[in-house]
Amino acid sequence: MKYSPDGGDVKVGAIMNGGGNMVLTIADQGIGIPKNDLEKVVRPFERTDISRERDIEGTGLGLPLTKGLVEAHGGHLLIESDLGIGTTVTVSLPADRLSA
């Protein structure tokens, strides 16, 4: 949310897909992530130059920690982003890691 402008939307969704996996999506209307930085932002303490230029506070741990937790449960994290438009993060967790 800190990367979205005042009044911007952040949408959160959750579905169970046909294989019984939980798929979570989080989409914002923030500053976006340059395509060449998508691999960088999932490494600890890495941030984009854009976030530094705009003086947005952070340590660069949010996405790396999320990726680590998701993968520890056998899941996958996908980041799609367009500069100036926003970012969508999709987390897929396998059915065998979910409880009823």
Condensed to tens digits (0 to 9), the pLDDT of residues 24-63 reads 999 999 889 999 999 999 998 888 766 656 667 778 899 9
Write down the pLDDT at residue 53. 60
Tokens of 56: 């947005």
Q: What are phi and psi of 21, to 5 degrees?
A: -80, 150
Which DSSP category does 16 fall into? E
Can you give the pTM of this predicted structure? 0.85
CB 27 within 8 Å of CB 86: yes
CB 27 within 8 Å of CB 11: yes
Domains of the chain: 10-92 (3.30.565.10)
Which residue blocks in 16-75 are alpha helix, DSSP H? Answer: 49-53, 62-72
